[in-house]
Amino acid sequence: MKSLVVYGSLVLCFCAALLNPSSLESANLTSTKDTLSTSRLSVFGTVDPTGTAAGSSNVKLITPAYLTANTITTSNIKVGDVLSIGDSVDYYTVITIVDTLNFTVSPVILATDDDANDPIYLRMRPSHTVTFTTASAIAGGSFRIMLPADTTTPSDGIPDDGGFDFTASPTVTGTDTTGYTFSAGTGTVAGGVGCTSPANYHCYDVAYTGAGAIGASITIVISGANAPIAPSPADTTESTAETYAYLVQNKNSGGTVVDSTKGKIALIEPVRVTATVDPTISMVICGASTCTDVEPTDTIDSEVLSNNTGATSTGTSVALGTLDLLAARLQAQKITIATNGAGGYALTAVDDGNLRRSTDTIDDNVTPPTGPAVLNTVGTEAYGIHPSGTHVNTTTWGTGGAAANKYSGTDATNILTLVTYATGPTVGVDTYVTYKANISPITPQGDYAHTITYIGTATF
Amino acid sequence: MKISLPKFFISLLTLSLCHFVTLPQAFASSLVVSPPRIDLEGKPGDVLQQAIKITNSGDKSITLSASAIDFIVADDSGTPIQITTSASGRYLASPWFILDKPELTLSANQSMSIIAIIEIPADALPGGHYAGIFFAPKEKGALGTTGAVVTPEIGALFGITVAGNIKYDALIKDFSVKANVSEFGPIEFTAVIENQSDTHIRPNSKIVIHDMLGRQLAELPLDEVNIFPFATRTLTGSWNTVWGLGRYRATLTSSYGPGLVTSRDLSFWIMPYRLIASILVILLVLLVLYLSVRRHLIHKEDHRDDEIDELKRKIAEMENRTH
């Protein structure tokens, strides 16, 4: 009997539970994230007339903040931004960031935009791509994305300090997937009809048809010209992200929230990267010892370099070897100059005197070096250099072989100009300098030498 | 001293080897200077300071000497020419330079800055003064035969304008167009500007082109370049047009110094004469064709008139017979 009572009680409890079931517990949507097209905060500052004047390109931000115009440094402004300045909504492009308070714009500031506390806006409207995984298969329902709103001015077209600023008629779309066929979504300002709980959240709804599915990957995008305006918060610390909570809900066909979840969005000032490239000029001189194209038997400007004993060149010397009464001796060096300066470069040469041995000299081909000339008569004493290369003036120096190439001696006082390239920056362009010497039957025996200094500079 | 034959040959061989050792080393000089050109302004008595960075981008250690040397510009391309202090005259500047490191050793790929302190004398002439800091290797190349020892030298140019009563003047010495009559564009211009100021100038120059109706067709900015005192610079510009017809006026204006402007203009023609000739030939051919056809039609009508007259005559004869 006792056991009968116990079993009877259990059956009654079970039946009572079936008659009045408890409401279904909502589950969490999973893998939720809101990917912003830009994580940049909006700009809302005001004009400081002490550094902003009509007709000038400089704009100064006022500090401390005027009301909720919380942009009090240039850390969130970058070159190329198009800012709205003044009550009459004039647009200006940022040209340079001067310092933490000042920046310059184009065109110059109009007379209506230089008053104290004239607003400065940059309305950032990032698109929100919200993705999540469903927890339940809810047929014919809807999804709602809720973005944080300012408590006092949630929809005035001005970046808010407390949340996103709502703009009517946003573009809200869902990506169709198995069990979900979406219709165009809508937006409702915080506090608007059907968008009151929880308070201070804008609502973006998108309804769907279909049976729904458990574990479906859903993507909802809020975008377009009417996407909400990103905040311009008061307590921003440069390089430290500001975070805002958002909600995602899955409702059934009756509008009851079945599943929901909460996520966070992070916004931050842009990182301004600055770099300076110093103007430079570089010069490299190489000879046969390090450059393969100025070795004996190589051809420079259609003249073959000599291959006699001891003839070679390095970056600091040119050895012609034993000169020959019956043939010219030639060797060469390569000089490479590069500059990023707008004025290009000049290559000049000066020496310490003639090619000489004690008081004996081998005559320069041209003295003073004012007009280079062909050096092509074997048996006549002459010595000179001939530059060739992309930037060499071929009218002055000739080109194309022994009959055309012009040689000049160098001088201790009259500087010889080899190249002047004033057109602008240039990558390393090679100038080949060919050294050529002939002797006569009466040239005294011995080793002849002199020093040539090649001077690389910018043009003035 | 008696030297055996083998010892003699060994000594000779050693000397020969030594001779080869003194032959040129496998070495490429490679130097970088930054910045290559500096403009400074100061008053008499001022002390200016400027850092110059020198880099040895070669693969061997190098010891450099740094020295200040005056320069001038004598050509129309801006080529700086080193001169002695005695020759530099009113442009003298090198004695004002004090270098914190007149000599420096750089290992491979090492950079170092030297500081140039420029003490402008209290009696310095107002206007431009010009010198460069030039770096050259202390160690010279070696030769054991006939040839040249080569020393690379790289420099940073200083243009120092000393404040005071500076005379500014410039003129457009020449302004020309490549061809006074062109068939097509582009139209190439050359301008030579002479600086007659006490200091260098950097004119902002442009060529504005108008057509016969006075309409502005193009504005061509020219390169901004420094012009050394009493030197000229040649500037070039190109109007990249293809078609044109008639007479055009090009006006060159150069603004320089404290708001001064010099200008000069020229006229040129664009006359696509071959195209015009072709059109005229086509028109002529069409005219000839027209006249031929017209003449043919007129003659054809003349034949019809003759036929009608013949028929009328025959009808009249037939009528006469019946009567």
Residues A113 and A236 in one domain: no
Of B75, B137, B155, the CB nearest to A455: B155
Residues A236 and A174 in one domain: yes
Interface with chain B: mutation pick from A280, A284, A317, highest number of B CBs within 10 Å: A317
Instruction: Let me know if residue B13 belongs to a domain.
Output: no
Residues B158 and B248 in one domain: no
Asked whether residue A178 carries a pLDDT value surpassing 90, the answer given is yes
pLDDT of residue A265: 87
Residues B157 and B180 in one domain: no
User: What is d(CA A265, CA A246) in angstroms, rounded to the nearest whole number?
Assistant: 7
Instruction: Let me know if residue B314 belongs to a domain.
Output: no
Residues A144 and A262 in one domain: yes
Instruction: Let me know if residue A159 belongs to a domain.
Output: yes
Chain B environment of A331 (Cβ under 8 Å)? 147
Instruction: Let me know if residue A410 belongs to a domain.
Output: yes
Check: CB of residue B153 under 8 Å from CB of residue A455.
yes
Backbone angles phi, psi at A31, to 5 degrees: 50, 45
Q: Is A361 on the interface with B (CB under 8 A)?
A: no
Instruction: Let me know if residue A12 belongs to a domain.
Output: no
Q: Is B257 on the interface with A (CB under 8 A)?
A: no
Residues A101 and A198 in one domain: no
Residues B182 and B157 in one domain: no
User: What is d(CA A104, CA B151) in angstroms, rounded to the nearest whole number?
Assistant: 48
Residues B38 and B99 in one domain: yes
Residues A342 and A370 in one domain: yes
Contacting residues for A408 by C-beta, under 8 A, at least 6 apart: A364, A365, A366, A369, A371, A372, A373, A384, A385, A386, A416
Instruction: Let me know if residue A8 belongs to a domain.
Output: no
The sheet carrying A82-85 orders its strands as A43-46, A119-122, A82-85, A90-97, A102-106, A58-60
For residue A450 the two structure tokens come to 């002199």
User: What is d(CA A452, CA A438) in angstroms, rounded to the nearest whole number?
Assistant: 18
Q: Where are the beta strands (DSSP E) in A367-422?
A: 373-374, 382-389, 406-407, 416-421
Instruction: Let me know if residue B213 belongs to a domain.
Output: yes
Residues A204 and A345 in one domain: no
Residues B181 and B201 in one domain: yes
Contacting residues for A284 by C-beta, under 8 A, at least 6 apart: A315, A335, A336, A337, A428, B28, B29, B30, B31, B57, B58
Chain A environment of B78 (Cβ under 8 Å)? 343, 346, 420, 422, 459-460
User: What is d(CA A336, CA A359) in angstroms, rounded to the nearest whole number?
Assistant: 34
pLDDT of residue B25: 46
Residues A67 and A54 in one domain: yes
Instruction: Let me know if residue A179 belongs to a domain.
Output: yes
B247, with CB counted inside 10 A (0-12, 13-18, 19+), is middle
CATH of the domain at A181: 2.60.40
Higher confidence at residue A333 or residue A268?
A333
Residues B113 and B180 in one domain: no
Cα A67 vs. chain centroid, distance in angstroms?
Answer: 35
Asked whether residue A129 carries a pLDDT value surpassing 60, the answer given is yes
Residues B179 and B204 in one domain: yes
Last residue of a domain, one of A234, A267, A300: A267
User: What is d(CA B323, CA B309) in angstroms, rounded to the nearest whole number?
Assistant: 21
Residues A158 and A301 in one domain: no
Residues A291 and A413 in one domain: yes
Residue numbers of the domain that contains B98:
24-162
Instruction: Let me know if residue B249 belongs to a domain.
Output: yes
Last residue of a domain, one of B162, B193, B215: B162
Last residue of a domain, one of B116, B144, B162: B162
Q: What is the enclosing helix (H) or strand (E) of B317?
A: helix B273-322
Chain A environment of B156 (Cβ under 8 Å)? 457
A370, with CB counted inside 10 A (0-12, 13-18, 19+), is exposed
Low-confidence ranges of chain B (pLDDT < 50): 1-26
Residue numbers of the domain that contains A173:
26-35+127-267
Q: Beta strand pairing status for A406-407 and B29-34?
A: unpaired
Asked whether residue A143 carries a pLDDT value surpassing 80, the answer given is yes
Check: CB of residue B177 under 8 Å from CB of residue B209.
no
Residues A300 and A448 in one domain: yes
Q: What is the enclosing helix (H) or strand (E) of B256?
A: strand B246-256
Cα A48 vs. chain centroid, distance in angstroms?
Answer: 31
Nearest to B193 by CA among B240, B229, B158: B229
Instruction: Give the tens place of pLDDT for each residue, A146-161.
Output: 999 999 999 999 999 8
Cα A16 vs. chain centroid, distance in angstroms?
Answer: 71
Nearest to A31 by CA among A101, A169, A133: A133
pLDDT of residue A87: 84
Instruction: Let me know if residue B15 belongs to a domain.
Output: no
Instruction: Let me know if residue B4 belongs to a domain.
Output: no
Check: CB of residue B130 under 8 Å from CB of residue B71.
yes
pLDDT of residue A331: 95
Q: Is A318 on the interface with B (CB under 8 A)?
A: yes
pLDDT of residue A237: 65
Last residue of a domain, one of B108, B142, B162: B162
- Domain count of the fold of chain A: 3
Instruction: Let me know if residue B8 belongs to a domain.
Output: no
Instruction: Give the tens place of pLDDT for each residue, A223-260.
Output: 999 999 999 988 656 667 788 899 999 999 999 999 99
- Domain count of the fold of chain B: 3
- pLDDT > 90 fraction of chain A, expressed in percent and rounded: 67
Asked whether residue A204 carries a pLDDT value surpassing 60, the answer given is yes
Nearest to B136 by CA among B64, B34, B84: B64
pLDDT of residue B60: 87
* Count of beta carbons in the 10 Å neighbourhood of residue A164: 30
Chain A environment of B27 (Cβ under 8 Å)? 289-290, 314-316
Q: How many beta-carbon contacts under 8 Å exist across A and B?
A: 219
Residues B197 and B283 in one domain: no
Q: Is B201 on the interface with A (CB under 8 A)?
A: no
Higher confidence at residue A267 or residue A402?
A402
CATH of the domain at B214: 2.60.40.10
Instruction: Give the tens place of pLDDT for each residue, A8-60.
Output: 565 554 544 444 444 444 568 888 888 888 888 999 999 999 999 988 889 99
pLDDT of residue A108: 85
Residues B34 and B135 in one domain: yes
Last residue of a domain, one of A267, A294, A315: A267
pLDDT of residue B13: 36
Instruction: Give the tens place of pLDDT for each residue, B186-236.
Output: 999 999 999 999 999 999 999 999 999 999 999 999 999 999 999 999 999
- pLDDT > 70 fraction of chain A, expressed in percent and rounded: 91
Residues A218 and A251 in one domain: yes
Average pLDDT for A272-299? 87
User: What is d(CA A239, CA A242) in angstroms, rounded to the nearest whole number?
Assistant: 10
Average pLDDT for A394-407? 95
Q: Beta strand pairing status for A449-457 and B147-162?
A: parallel
Residues B218 and B135 in one domain: no
pLDDT of residue B20: 35
Residues A285 and A418 in one domain: yes
Residues B56 and B143 in one domain: yes
Query: Which residue is closest to B226 within chain A, CA to CA?
Result: A460
Residues B112 and B56 in one domain: yes
Last residue of a domain, one of A83, A106, A122: A122
Instruction: Let me know if residue A86 belongs to a domain.
Output: yes
Instruction: Let me know if residue B319 belongs to a domain.
Output: no
